[in-house]
Chains A and B, each alone.
Chain A
Amino acid sequence: ETGVTQSPTHLIKTRGQQVTLRCSSQSGHNTVSWYQQALGQGPQFIFQYYREEENGRGNFPPRFSGLQFPNYSSELNVNALELDDSALYLCASSWEVRGANVLTFGAGSRLTVL
C-alpha cells in the first residue's frame, strides 16, 4: 500500500507568478483534500475533490484552483502569487467510512514567495 506523495518538496517563486503542486493519493482512496499551513499555524482547509469534482471549499479566493484525475491524483494551482501564499501545502487523501473522513497526509510542498 503506497502512501500519499507530493511534489515538489520545496520551491521558490516570485510574487505574481503561478505554481502547480502535485499529489498522488494513497491506493484505494477516492477523495483528495488540500490544506495550507502557515508557519506556526494549523492547516487551513482549501478544498476537497471527490470523483474529479470540487466537493467543498474553504475561505480561499478563486486564484486557488484544483483538479483531480481519474487515477485520483490531484493538482493545486495558485495564480498571481502573493507573499502571504508562502506556506506548507498539504495534500491528504481519504475514504469516507460511516460519515467520517480519516485523512492520510503527504509530507507537503513548502512554497516560498519572494
Chain B
Amino acid sequence: SQQGEEDPQALSIQEGENATMNCSYKTSINNLQWYRQNSGRGLVHLILIRSNEREKHSGRLRVTLDTSKKSSSLLITASRAADTASYFCATDGEYGNKLVFGAGTILRVKS
C-alpha cells in the first residue's frame, strides 16, 4: 500500500517558473520527507518536516505541512532544467518509523 499520494502525477514548466507538488497521506505521522529521483536511479533526500512544524525552507525549496488536512506541499522556486526528476513524499507512521512513499510527481523543466 502507499501511504502518500502526490498531485499532480506530472508537471511540465518553463525554466525560471515555480513548481508546486502536493502530497496527501492517511495515518498520523511524526515526520514527512521529500525525496528526488533522477531517471530511475536512487532517491536523494531533500527535506524533512516534523509534525509540529508548519513550514520549512532549504535553498530554493519550501515545504509546508498541514496535519489537520493530512497534506504537504513542496515548492521549488526559480526552477532549472536540472530539477527535472520525480519527486516523492514519504511518511512514517504506517510501519512505525519506517518510511512509506507515495507514487510521485514527475517534474519536467524545459529550457
Interface of A toward B, CB cutoff 8 Å: 4, 33, 35, 37, 41-45, 48, 56-59, 88, 90, 92, 96, 99-108, 110
From residue 1 to 33 of chain B, which have CB atoms closer than 8 A to chain A?
A: 1-2, 4, 30-31, 33
Main secondary structure of the interface of B (DSSP, over half): strand
Q: Tell me, in angstroms, the Cα distance from A41 to B105 when the chains sit together.
A: 10
Contact assessment for A42 and B45 in the assembled complex, using a CB-CB cutoff below 8 Å: no
Given contacts A43-B101, A56-B96, A88-B40, contact A102 B33 (CB under 8 A): yes
CB distance from A92 to the nearest CB of B (A): 8
Contact assessment for A105 and B42 in the assembled complex, using a CB-CB cutoff below 8 Å: yes
Interface string of B86-111 (1 = CB under 8 A from A): 00101010011111111110000000
Contact assessment for A100 and B50 in the assembled complex, using a CB-CB cutoff below 8 Å: yes
Q: Tell me, in angstroms, the Cα distance from A104 to B99 when the chains sit together.
A: 12
| CB closest chain-B residue, reference A106 | B42
Q: Which residues from chain B contact A101 at a C-beta distance below 8 Å?
A: 92, 97-99
Q: Decide yes or no whether B44 CB sits under 8 A from chain A.
A: yes
Q: For chain B, give the interface size range.
A: 20 to 34
Q: Tell me, in angstroms, the Cα distance from A90 to B2 when the chains sit together.
A: 16
Contact assessment for A99 and B103 in the assembled complex, using a CB-CB cutoff below 8 Å: no
Q: Which residues from chain B contact A58 at a C-beta distance below 8 Å?
A: 95, 98
Q: Decide yes or no whether B41 CB sits under 8 A from chain A.
A: yes
Interface of B toward A, CB cutoff 8 Å: 1-2, 4, 30-31, 33, 35, 40-45, 48, 50, 88, 90, 92, 95-104
| CB closest chain-B residue, reference A88 | B40
Q: List 7 A-B contacts (CB under 8 A).
A: A4-B42, A33-B98, A37-B40, A42-B4, A42-B101, A43-B43, A108-B40
Contact assessment for A42 and B31 in the assembled complex, using a CB-CB cutoff below 8 Å: no
Contact assessment for A44 and B2 in the assembled complex, using a CB-CB cutoff below 8 Å: yes
Q: Tell me, in angstroms, the Cα distance from A106 to B37 when the chains sit together.
A: 11
Contact assessment for B97 and A42 in the assembled complex, using a CB-CB cutoff below 8 Å: no
